[in-house]
Amino acid sequence: MATLKDYLQLHFIVLIWGFTAIIGLLITIPSVEIVFYRTLISFIALGILLYLRKRNFLLGTREIIKISSTGLLIAAHWILFFAAARVSTASVCLAGMATCTLWTSILEPVMTQRKIKYFEVMLGLIVIGGLYVIFTFEFNHALGLFMAIASAFLSSLFTVINGKFSTRHNPYMITFYEMIGACIGTVAFFPVYLRYFAGENQLQLSPSAMDWLYLAILAIICTVYAYSISVELMKRMSAFTINLTVNMEPVYGIILAYLIFREAEKMTSGFYFGTLIILLSVLAYPILNKIHKRRNLKADVVKKSI
């Protein structure tokens, strides 16, 4: 059962994730290269940590393959995420990520075989309404918004999958093998990237000194720490609850982006109205979930009394 400490911890890591789009804009190398270094540094740092803690790395070949394969989804999610911020703004990218709610309301019941909750779908549709408002006022950022929505779908998918892994394995071990899979997946994508997306440019694998600092923050704090804690929280929270709270990421991120980039991140009033709609869906979830549980409890009492 989730505690107040769990919810506060969840919001803290969402705040950290809200900062990732900003870091992605501060780093000078392209998105694919960012993901390569992020995953490489992450699994090396995690490997050293797990070794010092004398953890057993043997989970079984089948489990390692399953977890590492999930890393491919994470790599694709991050590449789209950073690319979305580059072709639009950090704010638009973060707003598109809020569709996690809708995707999770569909994916979690299908993949976990639990009943669909009507209010989860309703909240997901409200989020889509907020995005529609944003899209209406920020049409010039359509490509970035669509890339962010695709990134959100992948994020929801691997979050639901991680919910299953978290019941069997240590969260740091899960993140370790997922980062290996994500790094391998990114390297495997290099030939396609160079042929169809990089144009005449070669891989930019020589980050500046400041890039290395930002990459270290991105890998160790925003990845190793934040993702491992999120997997741990999945033992006590549903994927929907976590992804709904992740919808606060645009709110935190937009505030941080404006404080750092100022006029470059200034958006129209319609954008902020759409973001407010998304925020209201986040705040409504605990209330609606409580009402839903009370109704189910009353229904169970009535059935037992008959």
Residue 301: pLDDT band with limits 50, 70, 90:
low
Q: What pLDDT, on the 0 to 100 scale, is given for residue 40?
A: 95
What average pLDDT does range 242-268 have in this prediction?
73
Residues contacting residue 32 through CB under 8 Å, at least 6 positions apart: 79, 186, 189, 190, 193, 197, 198, 203
What average pLDDT does range 279-285 have in this prediction?
75
What average pLDDT does range 273-283 have in this prediction?
78
Residue 303: pLDDT band with limits 50, 70, 90:
low
- The pLDDT mean for the chain works out to 83
Residue 78: pLDDT band with limits 50, 70, 90:
very high
Q: What pLDDT, on the 0 to 100 scale, is given for residue 265?
A: 60
Q: What share of the chain is helix, strand, coil (3-state, %, to 5)?
A: 85, 0, 15
> How many other CB atoms are there within 10 angstroms of residue 254's CB atom?
23
* Tens digit of each residue's pLDDT (9 = 90 or more) over 128-173: 788 788 777 777 788 888 999 999 999 989 888 887 887 788 888 8
Domain count, the chain: 1
Residues contacting residue 41 through CB under 8 Å, at least 6 positions apart: 215, 216, 219, 220
Q: What pLDDT, on the 0 to 100 scale, is given for residue 109?
A: 83
| Residue 191, both tokens | 């030939």
Q: What pLDDT, on the 0 to 100 scale, is given for residue 252?
A: 80
Cα-based torsion angle of the residue sequence 77, 218, 229, 57 in order, rounded to the nearest 10 degrees: 80
| Residue 72, both tokens | 């491919």
Residue 37: pLDDT band with limits 50, 70, 90:
very high
Residue 74: pLDDT band with limits 50, 70, 90:
very high
This prediction's pTM: 0.82
Range from 96-100, 188-192, 256-260 that averages highest in pLDDT = 188-192
Q: What pLDDT, on the 0 to 100 scale, is given for residue 65?
A: 92
Residues 127 and 248: their CA atoms lie apart, in Å, by 12
Q: What pLDDT, on the 0 to 100 scale, is given for residue 218?
A: 92
Tokens 């707003």 correspond to 95
Q: What is the DSSP letter of 116?
A: P
Residue 98: pLDDT band with limits 50, 70, 90:
confident
Q: What pLDDT, on the 0 to 100 scale, is given for residue 59?
A: 85
Full 3-state SS string of 156-184? HHHHHHHHHHCCCCCHHHHHHHHHHHHHH
What average pLDDT does range 58-62 have in this prediction?
86
- The answer to whether residue 230 scores a pLDDT higher than 90 is no
Query: CB of 163 within 8 A of CB of 238?
Result: yes
What average pLDDT does range 38-52 have in this prediction?
91
Based on its alpha-carbon atoms, the radius of gyration of the chain, rounded to whole angstroms, reads 20
- The answer to whether residue 200 scores a pLDDT higher than 70 is no
Residue 263: pLDDT band with limits 50, 70, 90:
low
- The answer to whether residue 191 scores a pLDDT higher than 80 is yes
Range of the domain at 89: 4-305
